[in-house]
Amino acid sequence: MKADGMTRTNDLERRFAADGYVANIRVADEATVLHNRRQFDEVEAREGREKCQRGLYDPHFTIPFVWELATNSRVLDAVESVIGPNILVMGSHFFCKYGPTRAFVAWHQDVTYWGLDPAVAVSAWYAVDDSDVGNGCLQVIPGTHSGGIRAHGTSPDPTANLLSINQQVPVTAEEERRVVDVQLKAGEISLHHGLIVHGSQPNQSTRRRCGLAMVYIPTSVRQVGENSLGTRWRSVLVRGENRERNFIDEPHPF
Ligand SMILES: O=C(O)CCC(=O)C(=O)O
pLDDT tens by residue, 225-248: 777 777 778 999 999 999 999 988
CA of 92 to the centre of ligand 1 (A): 11
Backbone torsions φ then ψ of 142, nearest 5 degrees: -55, 140
* CATH code, domain with 183: 2.60.120.620
What pTM was computed for the model?
A: 0.94
Say if 251 falls within a structural domain.
no
- Nearest protein Cα to ligand 1, atom 6: 199
Please choose, from the candidates 142, 134, 146, 133, the residue with its C-alpha nearest in 3D space to the C-alpha of residue 174.
142
Domain-located, residue 192: yes
Q: Is 104 contained in some domain?
A: yes
250 lies in some domain: no
Give the pLDDT confidence of 49-86 residue by residue, as tens digits.
Answer: 999 998 899 999 999 999 999 999 999 999 999 999 99
CA nearest 63: which of 87, 89, 36? 36
Residues flanking ligand 1, CB < 6 Å? 95, 105, 110, 123, 125, 138, 198, 200, 211, 213
Percent share of the chain, pLDDT over 90 = 88
Distance CA 16, CA 38 (A): 31
Report pLDDT for 70: 98
Residue 100 in any domain: the answer is yes
How many domains does one find in the chain? 1
Q: How far is CA 153 from CA 169, 186, 233, in A?
A: 6, 33, 24
Nearest CA to ligand 1 atom 2: 138
- Structural domain includes residue 57: yes
d(CA 191, CA 19): 11
Could you list the residue range(s) of the whole structural domain that residue 10 is in? 2-234
pLDDT digits (tens, 9 = 90+) for 88-142: 999 999 999 999 999 999 999 999 888 899 999 999 999 999 999 999 999 999 9
How far apart, in whole angstroms, are the C-alpha atoms of residue 234 and residue 242? 14
Which residue's alpha carbon is nearest to atom 10 within ligand 1? 110
| Per-residue pLDDT at 8 | 61
Inter-CA distances, 185 with 26, 49, 97, 130, 142, Å: 9, 22, 16, 4, 21
Average pLDDT, the chain: 93
Q: Closest ligand 1 atom, CA of 213?
A: 9
* 160, part of any domain: yes
Cβ atoms of residues 202 and 53 within 8 Å: no
pLDDT of 6 above 80: no
247 domain residue, yes or no: no
CA 123 to ligand 1 center in whole angstroms? 9
> Is the pLDDT at 4 greater than 50, yes or no?
no
Pocket perturbation via mutation, ligand 1, pick of 75, 123, 166 by most ligand atoms within 8 A of CB:
123
